[in-house]
Amino acid sequence: MINFREVAETNAMIQKENLDVRTITMGISLLSCISSDLEELNRNIYDRITSCARDLVKTGEEISKEYGIPIVNKRISVTPIALIGGAACKKPEDFVTIARTLDRAATDVGVNLIGGYSALVSKGMTAADEMLIRSIPQALTETERVCSSVNVGSTKTGINMDAVRLIGDMILETAYLTRDRDSIGCMKFVVFCNAPDDNPFMAGAFHGVTEADQIINVGVSGPGVVKTALEEVREADFETLCETIKKTAFKVTRVGQLVAKEASKRLNVPFGIVDLSLAPTPAIGDSVADILCEIGLEYAGAPGTTAALAMLNDQVKKGGVMASSYVGGLSGAFIPVSEDQGMIDAVEAGALTLEKLEAMTCVCSVGLDMIAVPGDTGATTLAGIIADEMAIGMVNQKTTAVRLIPAYGKKVGDQVEFGGLFGYAPIMPVNQFSCERFVNRKGRIPAPIHSFKN
Amino acid sequence: MKKTIITVVGKDTVGIIAKVCTYLSENGINILDISQTIVDEYFNMMMIVDTAKATKEAAVLSDELTALGKEIGVIITCQKEEIFDMMHRI
């Protein structure tokens, strides 16, 4: 029988330490919607999404009430739209009509974000892929809830540098088009290397072509819970530290597993995966950076940060895998800047730089995330930063991603405000030396060799 | 049997248990176990109840108990047992 102490522990995690299920994401395949007629395609997409996800939000809220666990977001991911729209779209504006349809469907079923306005171009771009990428700035400007991603590289194929270069331009254009709202459009776009097919987290969620018709994926959270647990073992050795993280990660993930199974049963949609990520929010105490500080760093970014993060990430996975029958998605500690008050503090204190963040991404998921850079950063510089991060993913056989916000008209020392879960971000300085000649080379970087590991 | 855990936390006052129990009996909920303590004038109670014959849906019970808590001035949570089982039992 459950005892008093266990109940109190669970409820303290929920009420005081921000334990929540970050998202229930329903993946929906749109392959059956394909048509060469644009109007029909849009109609099919709208009908498919609104019928599949009709009860998603209501079910999420019911589960939340019955188990007393907040489920913060209910979201949808769809098949990459470049594949769906290829037959009907003749110009980038045609793709934008699909973005509007996704936005309308998301609004009507009540989900706050819908992901999958995406293209997978790790080796090459089809005409449709390129049109979709070119339509992203307009699509993100004209819609509220649509999230977009492009996979530009993988360990098996190398990095498509033509796509990277194009994305550099496109991010700047998105920043310009949404300049009156702190370049907020860029927040809804992420570029990937080795993008997973079953990621429930935005902005990078899409429903991969390897997936079934419909699927439920769940992302848990709980940096605050880990931090509180670590406060109890402040002077302990590494073994104790690691055990504590593992046990906590187990408990957090179990809640995700419960919610995922329950949502899957009630919606009659197969359960896909639980994503083990430690996802921070701007709420005080819900911070991955604070965990690093609790482990023993003055600020995130201090020497030792990469080692501490590597250990944290590994223990979270070790604890989490036993708690769920299927683990997938991004699964690791997230280190977004704007969504994590401890990260923001570290940047403002001068402890954390873009280069240190890049090093940190070598040992955790997912990459350079929610980082605001000066508005006058050049497209080739953005492309260079993206290429660096993609190379880390490619060589280390891991998922990496970049979500940069070159805030229009802002410079180092200013701030951008995104609101809600997305928080605010100080503008971070960018290395001023040029990579133009490198980025402007045509073609792709070949896939790396996987022997002679050094 | 459908076990649900109800917890009540807040400043101690007259009639907390009475009000919660009245609500439960009016809604066909059987109490299996109660444990309760006072820590620094704060009332802490945990009940294990059976909602198999409850006259209302679990989500409605949870909402109404939350509202009842506000009326009394305490925090009442009502959660299905599985969340604790999942977290604390392998």
pLDDT tens-place string over residues A177-220 = 999 999 999 999 999 999 999 999 999 999 999 999 999 999 98
A263-316 pLDDT, tens digit each: 999 999 999 999 988 888 888 888 999 999 999 999 999 999 999 999 999 999
Report how many domains make up chain A: 2
- Measured in angstroms, the CA of B45 and the nearest CA of chain A are apart by 9
Are A110 and A72 found together in one domain? yes
Cβ neighbours of residue A180 under 8 Å, at least 6 residues apart?
none
* Enclosing H/E stretch for A227: helix A223-231
A312-332 pLDDT, tens digit each: 999 999 999 999 989 988 888
> What is the CA angle A386-A358-A439, rounded to 5?
25
Is A306 within a domain? Answer: yes
Residue A429 is given by DSSP the state P
* Cβ-Cβ contacts under 8 Å, A255 against chain B: 83, 86-87
Q: Which CATH superfamily is domain B3-79 in?
A: ACT domain (3.30.70.260)
pLDDT > 80? residue A453:
no
Distance between CA atoms of A273 and A207, rounded to whole angstroms? 12
Is A11 within a domain? Answer: no
Tokens of A87: 């037959």
Tell whether B78 is within 8 A of chain A (Cβ).
yes
CA dist list (Å): A111 to A74, A115, A199, A300, A424: 5, 11, 16, 33, 23
* Cβ-Cβ contacts under 8 Å, A61 against chain B: 59
Is A159 within a domain? Answer: yes
| Residues A1, B58: C-beta atoms closer than 8 Å | no
Hey, which residues 40-69 in chain B have their CB within 8 Å of chain A?
Answer: 44, 46, 48, 58-59, 62-63
Fill in the amino acid letter for A289.
A
CB atoms within 10 A of CB A52: 22
Are A75 and A173 found together in one domain? yes
Strands (E), A14-145: 21-28, 71-78, 113-120
Are A407 and A298 found together in one domain? yes
| Residues A2, B62: C-beta atoms closer than 8 Å | no
Are A295 and A394 found together in one domain? yes
pLDDT > 70? residue A454:
no
A367-419 pLDDT, tens digit each: 899 999 999 999 999 999 999 999 999 999 999 999 999 999 999 999 998 87
CB A345 within 8 A of CB A289: yes
Tell whether B77 is within 8 A of chain A (Cβ).
yes
Are A225 and A331 found together in one domain? yes
CB B52 within 8 A of CB B9: no
| Phi-psi region at A331: left, alpha or beta (left = phi > 0; alpha = psi -120 to 50) | left
Are A178 and A227 found together in one domain? no
Is A292 within a domain? Answer: yes
* Cβ-Cβ contacts under 8 Å, B69 against chain A: none
Tell whether A66 is within 8 A of chain B (Cβ).
yes
CA dist list (Å): A72 to A13, A22, A61, A218, A279: 15, 5, 9, 11, 12
Which domain, by its residues, includes A422? 220-439
Distance between CA atoms of A232 and A241, rounded to whole angstroms? 10
Residue A270 maps to which CATH number? 3.20.70.20
- Measured in angstroms, the CA of A90 and the nearest CA of chain B are apart by 49
pTM of the model: 0.92
ipTM of the predicted structure? 0.88
Tell whether B17 is within 8 A of chain A (Cβ).
no
For chain B, give every domain's residue range.
Answer: 3-79
Is A424 within a domain? Answer: yes
Distance between CA atoms of A440 and A397, rounded to whole angstroms? 26
| Residues B33, A258: C-beta atoms closer than 8 Å | no
Is A110 within a domain? Answer: yes
Tell whether A69 is within 8 A of chain B (Cβ).
yes
Choose among B10, B82, B25: nearest CA to A67: B82
